[in-house]
Structure 1
Amino acid sequence: MPNESERLSNAGLTALRMREGAILRYYNDVANNCTFGLGSLVHFGRCTIDELRRPVTLADVNAQLDKAVRAAEGAVRSRVTEHELTQEQFDALVSYTYNTGATGARQTLDVANRGQNSKVANEMARNVYVHPRDANGRRLPAVRVPGLVNRRREEAAPFLKQGQQ
């Protein structure tokens, strides 16, 4: 079965770390959700005062990163079983899945499974919006995030190379 033994490469891990940016504290992300480290969601809605004061160590960040990367790798391997990916494509899909979650990546992974590379890039490019939350935690209308536009362009690049459908 294609991709069953694939793992995120060192280059892929470095790129993911660069895209996420490590923050050694709890903070409210662009959607006003409580987050820490390398984009690790603590919960939906803003951080509490206590959470904002809570220390975060590099060991905490690395442990969460390892756990989330393994989950993203598993999601890619379990959904892309029919089409063999290049290492660069696998890395890009792991980065994308890490960022969107397995549920958010499902449609893109299904297209990748069919080997429709240009459609993979199109699916990725559509996922550049977040739903911020107000002070009461209510979900607000979607907002386009320029940082996600750039990230999706990087993640889509391996699917747009010549000779790869």
Structure 2
Amino acid sequence: MKINNLNAMEITQLDQAGLNLIKQFEGCILHPYLDQVGIPTIGFGQTYYPATGKKVTMQDPAITQQQADDMFLVMLKPYELAVYSTTRDDITQNNFNALVSLTYNIGTAGYKTSTVHRLVNEGISDERLQAAFLMWNKAGGKVNQGLVNRRKKEYQVYIS
């Protein structure tokens, strides 16, 4: 939902702090591994190769750091677009960074239908928004402390 705010600077991509936020939580592993719910993953949390659309398998060869960095930048685009195209246009860079980090982790459909998305578009940033971030704390149906920590950090970035 875009609001009519002619003085707003529309932010369309992560800045370096936003890139670092996601990289911090995702980590980078250059060989295939199983994520917390058993999905083959590589690089910064990629489950498929953006150039081909091929899913990562445990038999795939390792990638280089440069390949991981390049894949990460390509993979970010749909997440940035989901936040940019469906979120009010008066958000700050920190707001955008936090929302893209969340979206990168929960998916574009998850973000667009989330309470976080609704509250942000209503201009709410108080404890209700914090609680909405913290709702996304499960992996495989179980509360995951890493996700709790990530959501707390994303909310702190959002309000800073």
Q: Tell me how large the CA RMSD over aligned residues is.
A: 2.1
Provide the rounded CA distance (Å) in 2 between the counterparts of 1:70 and 1:102.
Answer: 11
Out of 146-155 and 33-42, give the one that drifted further.
33-42
TM-score, normalization by structure 2: 0.80
Percent of aligned pairs sharing the same letter: 28
CA contact (8 A) 1:121 1:160 kept: no
Say which SS state the counterpart of residue 36 (structure 1) adopts. strand
Kindly provide the CA deviation profile for residues 116-165 of structure 1, in whole angstroms up to 9, marking residues without a partner as x. 2233322210001012xxxxxxxxxx11111000000000114456xxxx
Query: Counterpart of 2:100?
Result: 94
* SS of equivalent residue, structure 2 residue 107: helix
Q: Which residue of 1 aligns with 2:148?
A: 149
Question: Does the aligned pair in 1 maintain the 2:34–2:41 contact within 8 Å?
Answer: yes
Give CA-to-partner distance per residue, 1:57-96, whole Å, 9 cap, x none.
Answer: 2232112211222211100011103x51111111100111
Partner of residue 78, structure 2: 71
Match of 2:18 in 1: 12
1:3 Cα deviation after fit = 6.0
- Of residues 27, 39, 48 in structure 2, which corresponds to 1:42? 48
- 1:92 and 1:159 map into 2 onto residues whose CA distance is 5
| Structure-1 separation of matches of 2:143 and 2:118 | 24
Distance 2:136 2:34 in 1: 20
The verdict on how the C-alpha distance between 1:49 and 1:7 changes in structure 2, with shifts beyond 3 A counting, is: closer
The answer on whether the counterparts of 2:11 and 2:96 sit within 8 Å (CA) in structure 1 is no
What runs of 5+ residues in structure 2 fail to find an aligned partner?
A: 3-7, 50-55
TM-score of the two chains, using structure 1 as the length reference: 0.78
Q: Which residue matches 2:31?
A: 25
Letter paired with 2:125: N
Which 5+ residue runs of structure 1 have no aligned equivalent?
Answer: 132-141
Q: 1:110 Cα shift?
A: 2.8
Tell me the distance in 1 between the aligned counterparts of 2:147 and 2:58: 28
CA contact (8 A) 2:101 2:154 kept: yes
Q: What is the CA distance between 1:48 and its match in structure 2?
A: 4.9
Which residue of 2 is the match for residue 110 of structure 1? 118
Counting matched residue pairs gives: 145
Cα distance change on mapping 1:5 and 1:154 into 2, 3 Å: closer
**Aligned to 2:31, what secondary structure does the other structure show?**
strand
